[in-house]
A and B are shown apart, each in its own frame.
Chain A
Amino acid sequence: MVKRTPLYSLQKELGAKFTSFGGWELPVLYTDILKEHNAVRSNAGLFDVSHMGEILISGEDAVPFVNKIITNDVSAIPQNKILYSPMCYEDGTVVDDILIYKFSEGKLLLIVNAGNIEKDEAWINKHITGNVKVENISDRFVLFALQGPKSEEILKDILDEEIELPSFYWFIETKILGMKVLLSRTGYTGEDGFEIYLYLPNSCADYEKLWNGILDAGKDSGLVPAGLGARDTLRLEAALPLYGHELSDSILPIEARLRSFVKLDKKEDFVGKTALNNQLEQGLKRKLYGFEMTDRAIPRNGYDVTKDGKRIGYVTSGGLLPTLGKNGGLLLSEDLTLENDDVVEIIVRQRACKAKIVPLPFYKKKYKK
């Protein structure tokens, strides 16, 4: 059964084209991926990302328990701060990459990828220790992402209360257009921006009121509704990993440039620690690099990569990098000696097309700290 967000009818009226993603039917674009991409880079875009999953962990042992199933350290952050972390299997490969919202020592909200909700829930339940309660509350939220340099001025227009907006990776609870929301300064585009969680129960009219209210507030700032197509090109330019591409149940987070999110020295033992530690001691087998095409071709996910004719790996994500006006992507290489400007070949339909290794990210973030 394909799931739809409560905004489906409204999106259809806006002219959205839909695609299936993680068991959902979601807007891939409203007018044009490139226009939506550019709007987010120069003004702002509004995404409906209600498909994301939410799992609430509560109880007095919430923090030590979550620390046992993630690689990062949630005990080290204060209330109202957000933490990004991989969640690993015993062998160090990745169950999911998640955000953790710390409401208190006894209440953590995990934001998980849409396609992984059931898998994550089962995995978390399997590892329960101590006094904790695990609730999959994914169906209780509608989630919008307002992204782009003009996000702050747009948002200020529709806040009910005079408040100080949260800084990057912080959240607050507040009211917008009379509705209680969870507001965080997060996103997946490499731009400043916010994610707005609308608590249920609310009616479909409320979701539409919030969506339309934000669009109205941004009318004169160049705000447009944006789909998954632009979300993907934006996150690729910012070199943000996408589960199923840069991370999966066959890739280690330390291979995917996420070493700083793996805290081997935290107090709690955590699932995957031994495997990750061993791999670091033995040395990595693979590493993620950025590349740009120098020959004319578009690299795509799964294409083989060679160097001097010998296969060294594959493309995990690739395509047009609209802000740079180039084609490029991320590749997972067994050759760990690659350096910037090294020439590799991407095999596009049996043809070896030249590319060069470049520093990441392709597009430099402009987050408001």
Chain B
Amino acid sequence: MEVKQGLYYSKEHEWVRVEGDQAYIGITDYAQDSLGSIVYVELPQEGKAISRDDVLGVVESVKAASDIFSPISGKVVEANEALLDSPELLNGNPYDNYIVVLSIDNQDELKELLSPEQYDEYTKGE
């Protein structure tokens, strides 16, 4: 399972890429592999205010629907609408296909996320 450098990770298997005061958020390779074929993605409205641990969206595989919990707080700047017609992009390339971009409310929340090394260790224990 690939864990990419330069990203933050959550225990809920999301990655966060910070660019200035914005955060790109997606699901990890581990997450897409556990879910299997992703057939549907539900995205939040642009402009919506999200608190940490709120449901950011939903990813559905053939078997089940899984909530994506936001790893940080912020406002939705953009949702990746390409995923609506091509949800399988999350299987093919989970780190290049973000789900949303949030404007970061509180940079301190990032410190509570896992480093690539910590996340790698964490998934090996699951």
Interface membership of A224, Cβ < 8 A = no
The interface residues of chain A lying within 8 Å CB-to-CB of B64 are 300
The interface residues of chain A lying within 8 Å CB-to-CB of B120 are none
Interface membership of B84, Cβ < 8 A = yes
Cβ A320 vs Cβ B62 within 8 A: yes
Interface membership of A233, Cβ < 8 A = yes
Q: Which of chain B's residues has its CB closest to A232's CB?
A: B63
Q: Which of A17, A28, A229, A297 contacts B40 (CB 8 A)?
A: A297
**CB of A362 to closest CB in B, whole Å:** 15
Q: Which of chain B's residues has its CB closest to A322's CB?
A: B62
Q: Which of chain B's residues has its CB closest to A19's CB?
A: B63
Count the A-B residue pairs with Cβ separation under 8 angstroms: how many? 33
The interface residues of chain A lying within 8 Å CB-to-CB of B115 are none
Interface membership of B39, Cβ < 8 A = yes
Interface membership of B60, Cβ < 8 A = yes
Interface membership of A34, Cβ < 8 A = yes
Cβ A34 vs Cβ B62 within 8 A: yes
Interface membership of B58, Cβ < 8 A = yes
**CB of A210 to closest CB in B, whole Å:** 28
Cβ A32 vs Cβ B58 within 8 A: no
Interface membership of B65, Cβ < 8 A = yes
Task: Tell me the B44-75 residues at the A interface (CB within 8 Å).
Answer: 58, 60-65
In the bound assembly, the distance between CA atoms of A29 and B58 in angstroms comes to: 22
The interface residues of chain B lying within 8 Å CB-to-CB of A32 are 36-37
Cβ A33 vs Cβ B37 within 8 A: yes
Cβ A229 vs Cβ B63 within 8 A: yes
Task: Tell me the A317-331 residues at the B interface (CB within 8 Å).
Answer: 319-320, 322, 327
Q: Which of A33, A327, A349 contacts B63 (CB 8 A)?
A: A33
Chain A count of residues within 8 A CB distance of the other chain = 17
The interface residues of chain B lying within 8 Å CB-to-CB of A320 are 39, 62
The interface residues of chain A lying within 8 Å CB-to-CB of B39 are 298, 320
Interface membership of A119, Cβ < 8 A = no
Q: Is chain A's interface secondary structure helix, strand, loop, or mixed overall?
A: mixed
Q: Which of A17, A229, A349 contacts B62 (CB 8 A)?
A: A229
In the bound assembly, the distance between CA atoms of A298 and B63 in angstroms comes to: 10
Cβ B36 vs Cβ A229 within 8 A: yes
Q: Which of chain B's residues has its CB closest to A33's CB?
A: B62
With A34-B37, A298-B39, A320-B39 as known contacts, state yes or no: A28 contacts B63, CB within 8 Å. Answer: yes
Q: Which of chain A's residues has its CB closest to B61's CB?
A: A33
Q: Which of chain A's residues has its CB closest to B67's CB?
A: A349
The interface residues of chain A lying within 8 Å CB-to-CB of B84 are 296
Task: Tell me the B5-49 residues at the A interface (CB within 8 Å).
Answer: 36-37, 39-40, 42
Cβ B37 vs Cβ A298 within 8 A: no
Cβ B36 vs Cβ A298 within 8 A: no
In the bound assembly, the distance between CA atoms of A28 and B63 in angstroms comes to: 9
With A296-B84, A298-B60 as known contacts, state yes or no: A33 contacts B36, CB within 8 Å. Answer: yes
In the bound assembly, the distance between CA atoms of A28 and B61 in angstroms comes to: 13
Using a CB–CB cutoff of 8 Å, the interface residues on chain B facing chain A are 36-37, 39-40, 42, 58, 60-65, 84
Selected A-B contacts with CB under 8 Å, 19 pairs: A17-B36, A29-B36, A32-B36, A32-B37, A33-B37, A33-B61, A33-B63, A34-B62, A229-B36, A229-B62, A298-B39, A298-B60, A298-B65, A300-B65, A319-B62, A319-B63, A320-B62, A322-B62, A327-B40
Using a CB–CB cutoff of 8 Å, the interface residues on chain A facing chain B are 17, 28-29, 32-34, 229, 233, 296-298, 300, 319-320, 322, 327, 349
New contact pairs (10) apart from A229-B36, A298-B65, CB-CB < 8 Å: A33-B61, A34-B62, A229-B63, A233-B62, A296-B84, A297-B40, A298-B40, A322-B62, A327-B40, A349-B58
